[in-house]
Amino acid sequence: MSVKQNTERYGERTKLRDPYLLSKAYPEPTICPTCGLVFHKKRWSRDAQILSIVSNVAEKHKCPACRKIEDHYVMGFVSIIGTFFPTIKNEIINIIHNQEKKEMVRNPLARIMSLNNKDDTIMVETTNDNLAIAIGKALKRSHGGELNVNYASNEQFARVSWRRDLEVGSKPAK
């Protein structure tokens, strides 16, 4: 079982830009009124100590992740399909949320926008292409299956698909 990856993303353009990241910096300090992230030293972070110090004097602007969620600007899409996953649906959902927490330590702008669970399919939309890829890789590591990662050639977007079916004659987990 392998990982298939479309590498067209790095063809002509080596650096694709996120349209929600401003070319000019936010004023420092800035606080996102929606999620509480703080823009400090030219990056967004979740820092309670800085937040408590600057909360009265900081400007208020929505962070790029909250703006993407508000505009429904998806940068990563994960589809989880197959006859295997319904047998361990709660575990799969926990893996997805745990991966989001791990990614948010590295990049607090990486968020799950939506998680839709229908029958034998889970669809996840993310604010960041790297989070979608990380979710797919975590599922592959923990449960095997087939992982496909495809990048849009002209924008920063990843479509990730993870699939695993029950082997013939195996019994579903309870």
- Shared-domain flag, residues 129 and 151: yes
Q: Which domain holds residue 41?
A: 30-67
pLDDT of residue 23: 67
User: How many separate domains does the chain show?
Assistant: 2
Asked if pLDDT for residue 174 goes beyond 50, the answer is no
- Shared-domain flag, residues 155 and 89: yes
- Shared-domain flag, residues 44 and 108: no
- Shared-domain flag, residues 132 and 106: yes
The CA-based dihedral angle spanning residues 37, 41, 42, 43, taken in that order and rounded to the nearest 10 degrees: -40
Query: Is 13 among the domain residues?
Result: no
Whether 76 contacts 130, CB under 8 Å: yes
What tokens does 174 get?
């309870």
- Shared-domain flag, residues 82 and 157: yes
- Shared-domain flag, residues 106 and 86: yes
pLDDT tens figures, 48-105: 888 888 888 899 999 999 999 999 999 999 999 998 878 888 999 999 999 999 999 9
Euclidean distance between CA atoms 152 and 129, whole angstroms: 10
pLDDT tens figures, 26-59: 888 999 999 999 998 889 999 888 888 888 889 9
pLDDT of residue 167: 75
